[in-house]
Amino acid sequence: MPNLPTSSLPASSLPVDLCRLPHAADIPLPAYASDGAAGLDLCAANDTAIQLAPGERALVPTGFAIRLPSQYEAQIRPRSGLAAKYGVTVANAPGTIDSDYRGEIKIILINLGADAFIIERGMRIAQMVIAPVIQTVIREVDSLDSTTRNKAGFGSTGT
């Protein structure tokens, strides 16, 4: 496999339908910020600025709804810049957007920083990674096979 520069990578061929909601006429579409970006940046679509005091969280609208193909999910992840500079992150990261969800995508932002943070309309607040999902069939059984690890966990191999 040749070592291709990232700008030569083919565009994703997975189509995702997206509806812009009436209150988001001026909000940029979710977009990859670079050729090789994993996540589409999502912007805040709140009408008025939201002030997040330290420790507070808010459910922030994005102004968009999507239709994912079945067997896919969208993960809502924090932006590292907001986390590193302000301590602002996604409370439920990674948030899960189900393929059968048709409502507005919303982001649960939490301020873990020491200072208040203002969420302005149009600000890029999170990113959305589209990923394949395997749905399983759960089979209830009476016991499980034993392994070398067996029930050891939570640091059992040392630090």
String of contacts with ligand DUT for each residue 74-93, x by CB under 6 A: --x---------------x-
Query: By CB under 6 A, what part of segment 89-118 binds ligand DUT?
Result: 92, 95-98, 101, 105-108
Work out whether 39 is an interface residue with ligand DUT (CB under 6 A). Answer: no
Sign of the dihedral defined by the CA atoms of residues 74, 27, 10, 68, in that order: positive
Pick the closer one to ligand DUT by CB: 36 or 109: 109
In the DSSP assignment, the letter for residue 39 is: S
The torsion region of residue 86 among left (phi > 0), alpha (psi -120 to 50) and beta comes to alpha
Assigned token pair, 41: 């940046």
Work out whether 45 is an interface residue with ligand DUT (CB under 6 A). Answer: no
CB 98 within 8 A of CB 73: yes
Pick the closer one to ligand DUT by CB: 27 or 105: 105
